């Protein structure tokens, strides 16, 4: 039983981080209809910036146990890069999807060099800081408290995002814009502002995800690609543009990965993509996506 919970927690922790990146991807596609390959770069940026922010805060006397709020603030602060990048993407909104993909792919490559330039080429870690929060135990099941906090934070963000989209006035405007851009514009919605806000929100989801994961992992230049491959599996499984799909898709991918690692370690990616193919055959729009009419 203990082994089952260990594997479950491993899968859910991976899903929690994956959800944040996939949610950013979904939000941006849902409203702006752009497949943002650079979502992984935002994730990496959050991780690097998080390490630097914590190191700086500790060097000026902040207690080390405050690293979690510092990471959150660092991830949120990176939202400032959202508006200028969105302004760049405006040049391709009405062009072929291939241009959009090329531009966001160019951003991936540019961000890789930017990260290398500012943070150096070597993977960066926060040492043993994650251990400051101790471990939760139930019998023989042990979970680092920090991992549990990341899972809780991710769930809170998922519900907060859902409430924001459904219950707030801006959320309704946002959904209306996603539904019909021209009509929204005709009734006076400032679509440019909505796009900039949505892109910033999508960016922040990625940067917060990266900042939150770094105490348990490492900030490295390989991060963007590593996660984007799985984030796209989440999107296909959950349905492009669906937030609920991002949540369920992330859980499916996280659990499939954890189970594959336990029972057939070599089949980690295969197990995930078997589900992707099955969903594509049975429900081409994804579990929660709407079929194209």
Partner 1 sequence: MQSSRRKVLKAVTGAGAMLAAQPYLSLPAFAQAGPLRIGIITPKSGIAGTIGECGLRGCQFAVERINAGGGIAGRKVELIVEEETNPKDSIERLRKLVLQDKVDCVQGVISSGVSLAMGPAAEEMKALTIFWDGTTQDGVNETMPHPHYVFRSTDNECEAVMASLLVVKHWKGQFKTVAGINPDYSYGRNNFAAFQALLKKFGVQHEVVADQWPKVGTTDLTSHVAALKAAKPDLVFSSLLFADLPIFMRTAHGAGLMDGRTKFAFPAAGFQHTALKKSFTPEGMIFGHNTLYFDLPNASPLQKQFVQEYEAKYKDYPHWEADRAYFAMQVYKAGVEAAYKAKNAWPSQDDIIGAMEGVKIESLGGPGQMRKDHIAEQTFYQGITTHKNRYDFPTLGQIDTMYSDQLQKPPGADFWKWIETAQIKL
235-254 residues near partner 1, rule: CB under 8 A:
none
Check binding of 226 to partner 1 (CB under 8 A): yes
Check binding of 6 to partner 1 (CB under 8 A): yes
Check binding of 189 to partner 1 (CB under 8 A): no
Check binding of 266 to partner 1 (CB under 8 A): yes
Give the nearest distance from C-beta 120 to partner 1 in angstroms: 8
Applying CB under 8 A, among 10, 24, 209, 238 the residue interacting with partner 1 is: 10
C-beta contacts of 184-190 below 8 A and 24+ residues apart: none
Applying CB under 8 A, among 66, 101, 216, 280 the residue interacting with partner 1 is: 216
Check binding of 135 to partner 1 (CB under 8 A): yes
Applying CB under 8 A, among 58, 102, 189, 217 the residue interacting with partner 1 is: 217
Applying CB under 8 A, among 142, 152, 156, 277 the residue interacting with partner 1 is: 142
Check binding of 218 to partner 1 (CB under 8 A): yes
Check binding of 83 to partner 1 (CB under 8 A): no
Q: Site residues (CB under 8 A) for partner 1?
A: 2-3, 6-7, 9-11, 13-14, 17, 116, 120-123, 125, 127-128, 130-131, 135, 137, 140, 142-144, 147, 213, 216-218, 220-223, 226, 257-258, 261-262, 265-266, 268
């Amino acid at each position: 039983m203990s082994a089952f919970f260990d594997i479950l927690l491993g899968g859910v922790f991976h899903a929690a981080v994956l959800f944040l990146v996939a949610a950013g991807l979904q939000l941006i596609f849902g409203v702006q209809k752009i497949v943002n390959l650079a979502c992984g770069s935002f994730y990496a940026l959050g991780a690097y910036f998080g390490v630097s922010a914590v190191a700086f805060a500790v060097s000026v006397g902040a207690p080390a146990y405050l690293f979690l709020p510092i990471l959150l603030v660092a991830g949120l602060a990176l939202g400032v890069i959202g508006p200028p990048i969105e302004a760049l993407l405006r040049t391709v909104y009405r062009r072929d999807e291939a241009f959009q993909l090329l531009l966001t792919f160019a951003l991936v490559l540019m961000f890789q060099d930017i990260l290398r330039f500012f943070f150096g080429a070597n993977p960066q870690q926060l040492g043993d800081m994650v251990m400051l929060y101790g471990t939760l135990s139930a019998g023989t099941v042990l979970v680092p408290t920090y991992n549990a906090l990341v899972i809780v934070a991710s769930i809170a963000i998922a519900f907060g995002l859902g409430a924001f989209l459904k219950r707030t006035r801006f959320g309704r405007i946002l959904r209306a814009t996603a539904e019909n851009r021209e009509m929204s514009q005709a009734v006076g919605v400032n679509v440019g502002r909505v796009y900039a806000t949505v892109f910033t929100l999508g960016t922040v989801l990625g940067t917060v995800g990266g900042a939150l994961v770094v105490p348990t992992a490492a900030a490295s230049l390989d991060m963007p690609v590593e996660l984007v491959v799985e984030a796209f599996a989440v999107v296909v499984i959950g349905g492009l543009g669906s937030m609920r799909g991002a949540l369920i898709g992330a859980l499916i991918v996280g659990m499939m990965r954890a189970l594959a690692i336990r029972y057939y370690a070599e089949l980690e990616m295969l197990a995930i993509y078997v589900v992707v193919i099955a969903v594509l055959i049975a429900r081409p729009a994804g579990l929660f996506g709407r079929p194209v009419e």
